[in-house]
Structures are given as C-alpha cells and as structure tokens.
Amino acid sequence: MTKSALQTERSTYAPKVPATIAGGTTLKEGKATESVADQAEIKKLFPNTYGMPIVTFEKGSAAVKGEAINVGVILSGGQAPGGHNVISGIFDGIKAINKDSKLYGFLGGPSGLVDHKYIELTDKIVDEYRNTGGFDIIGSGRTKLEETEQFDKGLEICKKLNIKALVIIGGDDSNTNACVLAEYYLAKKSGVQVIGCPKTIDGDLKNEMIETSFGFDTATKVYSEVIGNIERDANSAKKYWHFIKLMGRSASHVTLECALQTQPNITLIGEEVEAKNQTLDDIVTYIAKVVAARADKGLNFGTVLVPEGLIEFIPAIKKLIAELNDMLAANQAEFDKVADDAKIDYVVAHLSAANAAIFKSLPAGVSRQLALERDPHGNVQVSLIETEQLLADMVGKKLAEWKKEGKFKGKFATQHHFFGYEGRCAAPSNFDADYCYSLGRVAALLIASGKTGYMSSVRNTVKPASEWLAGGIPITAMMNMEKRNGKMKPVIQKALVKLDGGPFKFFASKRDEWAIETAYVYPGPIQYWGPASVADRPSKTLELEHK
Ligand code: FBP
C-alpha cells in the first residue's frame, strides 16, 4: 500500500495516555449507580448488570499482569476518526497483560459476530493502521444485535475462539445493544464479558462520566477548516450566501462546535427550534431578515450553518414523524405488501388529518425520506434530506416577495454544501488519537478486572493527557425508557444540545454580532505537530462545558 508522507510520519506517533494507566495501576470501586431515569423498569430489565459501581484506575505499584486473554472487537455504525486507535489500544493493552493474548476483529460490524466472519489482528496488521482514520481495518456495519438467536450465534464463535470478552465500539444504539448482550451473557453464566466504547462524530453520546464521544473532535476540526475557507472566499468574492449542512443525525453539537470555531453569520440549532416551537416559516423569516440587514450595509454575502437533524426538531414535523413511526410499526406487514408507487398514498390515508396535511405540504423528496427510507434502527436518514437547498430556496422566495414590497434591496445568490462524510475518516487529531488509544487501553484493563456491561471512560479531557482520569461506567446508569418503532425500550439517553449549557450560552451571547458583522474566524487545517496550544487543543464545546 502506498502511503502519503503524512501517513508515514504519523504511524510513528506514540499516543499519550493518562499517567494513572501508563505504568502500575489499581482498580478502585465507587458507589453503586442508578439509571438516569425510569430506575424501576431498567432494574427489572437488567437484573444482573443494574446498579454496578463506577470504577476508576488509580496509580498502583505494579502493572496489571495475568493469564492470556482472547478478545473480540466490533466496529458498529458510522465511521469516526480514531477507531483504529481504540483497536491498537486494546491490542497493546491485552498484550501488556500477557504477550500470548489474542485480538480477533469481527468483520463488517455486528453481523461479523453473528455470521462468524473474523480475522486475527496481528502486530503487522495493527501497525499498518495506528493513528489512521477510517474503520477499514475490519469494517463496520449497522446490523442491530438484539435477538437472542444472534446472541447465541455470537456465543458459539466466542467459545470456539476462546474469547473472554467482546469490545463493541459504537454510538448510543450500539452501546445499548452491548449492554443487552452483557446482561444476556451474564444471565447465562457464559463467561463472556462485554465492554462498550463511546464512538460517534455526532457528539451525542456523552453524560457526566463520558465527556465526549470519539471522532467529534477531528470531524468538527475538518468541517471548521472548510467552513473557514468558504467564509474567506465569501468575504473575498462578496457575492454568495453559502448554505452549509453539517452532519449530526439528531443533536446539533457538530453545528454548534463549528459555529464556535468559525463565527458564521447564521447558525440554526435544532434543539432551540424545538424549544421555541418554531415553524419552517419562522426559520426562513429569521434567515431572510439577516440577509436583508446585511444587504442594507452593502454585504450581499454570508454563511449559514444548518444541522442535519433540523427537520426532526421542527415541532410540527416531529409530531408527524412520531405518528408515522407508530402507524408504520402497527401496520408493518400490510405496508410491506403495498406497491412502491402506492406507498405515499397509503401513508396519507393512515395519518390523522392534521399530520396528513403537513405531510402533503412537504416537498416530495422530504416526505419520501420521512416515510420510506429508514436505517436499520428505524431512524430517519436525515443525511439524505437536502435541508440546505430547501432553506435556500424558501429564503429566496421570501426575499423576492420582500423585494416587490420594497423591503429588500440587495442581491441573493446561493451556493450549497453538505459536510459529513468528508470528516468521518480523517486522520485523527492528537486529541482523538490520544483519547481513542486511551479508551482502548482502559477497555483492556476493564476486561482484565472481570468487568462486563461497562463503558470505557476517560475524563478530565480539557487537561493535558497525563492528567486524564481512566475508568469504567456501568452502561445501565446511562439508560432510560424511550419509544422506538412504536414500543417502549431501554436505551442510552441521547445527549442533545443543552440550551442552558456553556457552549450554547456563549454562542447565543455572540450570534447577533456575528449575524451583521463579518466576524469570521479561519481555523485552518488540523495540526499534528507544533505547539500544544494548537496541536493538542480540545474542542470549544469541551472547553466551554468545563469552564
Ligand atoms: P453513528 O451514530 O453510527 O456514529 O453515525 C452518525 C452519522 O455519521 C450521522 O451523523 C449521519 O446521519 C449518519 O451517520 C449517516 O449514516 P450512513 O453512514 O449510514 O450514511
């Protein structure tokens, strides 16, 4: 494989780890935990893994040594920079415990476990992938692990390969399933442990003990670099409004972080749209007003950041999606038999009058996405909905009306962009390279300590890596009951943007100024070497959350 100059140099980078796990380490157990909500139901569903204590690794006199352990690793869901470093951390971690330990990688995501598709990850393979982006070392997939037959098939291969523990690297849905699997294997006294690792560029798998999901840092730095470049182009050419949609299926963390880094003219935050009960027209009017105000100052250009999940936060559309979910779940068998070209009519006929009217008022592409094209977890595939185009068109129409009424005198020409896949496999920033490798090392220590149903946790991440805190959090502690596909299910609570949190409050205090002034910031590309203030800088979100 031909490597770029950066890849070659970067492969020698030794990720930094918390001082407490760098040498001798010892495990300390904290207090018993409770789930974040719905305690009685979660306890009933997870009798074996509920209430376990938070554990931390503290500096000890000796390194952890023990019998050889065979571990299986699975990458689940969307790519996120740093996945390869989690794997190299697990690999080095179990080899440090006993050099005869083995790491098996299940291929193509959770389906690899069920279909018994795997490879043994050797020194040679792992070394090829250290500090690289992507999930191509073993591939990823979105198969849900939730049926007992799948769990039993998984157990079969674990027994055959003498696997003592599985590490599932995934987002909230995949870690929820990791917890269900841990509970099942424990109830069966199978001897197979399950550990989760928090992954997703979306940044919505976080809580008091999991400060951030990996990949968020790198992805937002990549998007911010490009947004900065676009801003500089806009400010040079002075003729376009750029509408930029950013990934993040549900929460608007990615968009908020990019706004904090680049100070665009307009940033929409889905969670605020919902809290203020805004309609699509309210959003369009807000954008049009800023465009008109800048035009009054002779500034016929600007940048608008749009979170991918926006559409789902507009209250009227959220209600529509909720009814669609229940209706489709209740009529699934019948719906599957309806011919493709009759499906939209079927949906309209089965919705309440109010929601049918909203559904029919949406552009055809959007209504089709909402009703028909879901991912295996039942989520609307928001990355396929062209909200940036939709908004730009609607703003254009409104401004044309205002022009006739004499309320708008400027020019409005647009460009559209969608940044998502561009950032998901970038070479991990120093933050993600260090954080991910540490998560992997911690996962190995949790396994050696006999833990199951835990998520690997690395905290205190706004400090230098040597001061980071390492430990494990029971996954049941992060759970609550939510409606999924028409049924109440135990799931890890999704972390949405908090409107009373530091990052949003800072943004809200500045946005009026950023709207009218041209206050752009140009972050430039990720730096892998150089002063720590540039190369090791964590996200603005983390800094403001921990201020
Ligand atoms: P995960 O939650 O699995 O990490 O994936 C996040 C994400 O990148 C979203 O931001 C985006 O909506 C979605 O994946 C796109 O999915 P796909 O890769 O299947 O197109």
Atom nearest to 309 CA in ligand 1: 12
CB 231 within 8 A of CB 490: no
Whether residue 238 is predicted with pLDDT greater than 80 in this model: the reply is: yes
Query: How far is Cα 220 from Cα 202, in angstroms, rounded to an integer?
Result: 9
Could you tell which of 197, 247, 385 is best to mutate to test the pocket of ligand 1, judged by most ligand atoms within 8 Å of the CB?
Answer: 247
Residue nearest to atom 18 of ligand 1 (CA): 78
Ligand 1 centre to CA of 403 (Å) is 40
- In this structure, what are the phi and psi dihedrals at residue 445, rounded to the nearest 5 degrees? -70, -40
- Provide the residue type at 65 as one letter: K
**pLDDT given for residue 512 in this prediction:** 98
All domains in the chain, ordered by first residue: 26-215+428-484 (3.40.50.450), 217-423+500-546 (3.40.50.460)
Distance 341 CA to ligand 1 centre (A): 28
User: For residue 282, how far is the Cα from the chain centroid?
Assistant: 28
CA of 200 to the centre of ligand 1 (A): 8
Average pLDDT for residues 5-32, to the nearest whole number?
94
What token pair was written down for 158? 């674990």
Compute the average pLDDT of residues 181-208.
96
d(CA 268, CA 283): 8
Confidence at residue 327, expressed as pLDDT on a 0 to 100 scale: 87
Mean pLDDT, residues 499-508: 98
Q: Which residue has the higher pLDDT, 398 or 144?
A: 398
Catalytically annotated residue among 92, 172, 173, 202: 202
Residue having the nearest C-alpha atom to atom 11 of ligand 1: 249
Specify whether 217 is catalytic.
no
- Confidence category of residue 515, pLDDT binned at 50, 70, 90: very high
Closest by CA position to 302, among listed 261, 380, 218, 243: 243
Atom 16 of ligand 1, nearest CA residue:
78
Task: Give the model's confidence band at 318: pLDDT under 50 very low, under 70 low, under 90 confident, else very high.
Answer: confident
Report how far ligand 1's centroid is from the alpha carbon of 78 (Å). 5
What tokens appear for 333 in the block? 């068998």
Please give the average per-residue pLDDT across 81-103, as a whole number: 97
What percent of the chain clears pLDDT 70, i.e. is strictly above it? Answer: 99
Atom 10 of ligand 1: nearest residue by CA position: 248
Ligand 1 nearest atom to the CA of residue 249, by list position: 12
Q: What percent of the chain has pLDDT over 90?
A: 81
Residues 6+ apart with CB under 8 A from 161: 70, 72, 102, 104, 118
Contact 248, 202 (CB under 8 A): yes
At 377 the pLDDT is: 63
Going by CA atoms, what residue is nearest to atom 8 of ligand 1? 78
Bridge partners of 71, per DSSP, are 103, 165
Q: In the structure, what pLDDT confidence band is assigned to residue 540 with cuts at 50, 70 and 90?
A: very high
Pocket test for ligand 1, best of 140, 202, 255, 387 (most atoms within 8 A of CB): 202
pLDDT digits (tens, 9 = 90+) for 99-119: 999 999 999 999 999 999 999
- What does the pLDDT read at residue 86? 98
**Angle in degrees, 0-180, between the axes of helices 315-330 and 353-361, rounded to the nearest 10:** 110
- Residue 226 — pLDDT band, cuts 50, 70, 90? very high
pLDDT at position 378: 66
Looking at the CA of residue 174, tell me the nearest atom of ligand 1.
Answer: 3
Instruction: Give residue 211 CA to ligand 1 midpoint distance, Å.
Output: 20
Per residue in 351-381, pLDDT tens? Answer: 999 889 888 888 777 888 787 777 766 667 7
Nearest to 218 by CA among 380, 108, 20, 85: 85
Residues within 6 Å of ligand 1 by CB? 77-78, 80, 171, 200-202, 247-249, 308, 382-383, 424
Closest CA to 198 of 186, 215, 183, 184: 215
Closest ligand 1 atom, residue 79 Cα: 4
What does the pLDDT average to over 506-517? 98
Nearest Cα residue to 222 out of 385, 430, 8, 425: 425
Question: Does residue 429 contact residue 525 with C-beta atoms inside 8 Å?
Answer: no
Ligand 1, atom 14, residue with closest C-alpha: 78
Any idea which of 12-26, 205-219, 309-323, 496-510 has the lowest mean pLDDT?
A: 309-323
Positive or negative, the Cα torsion across 18, 19, 22, 23? negative
Atom of ligand 1 nearest to the CA of 382: 12
Helices (H), 386-429: 387-404, 421-424
Query: Atom of ligand 1 at shortest distance to CA of 248?
Result: 10
Give the mean pLDDT of the chain: 94
For ligand 1, mutation pick of 140, 197, 200, 491 (most atoms within 8 Å of CB): 200
Query: Taking Cα atoms as reference points, which of 234, 228, 263 lies closest to residue 414?
Result: 234
Q: Measure 80 CA to ligand 1 centroid, in angstroms.
A: 9
Residue nearest to atom 12 of ligand 1 (CA): 249
Q: Nearest residue CA, atom 20 of ligand 1?
A: 383
User: Rounded distance, CA 176 to CA 170, Å?
Assistant: 9
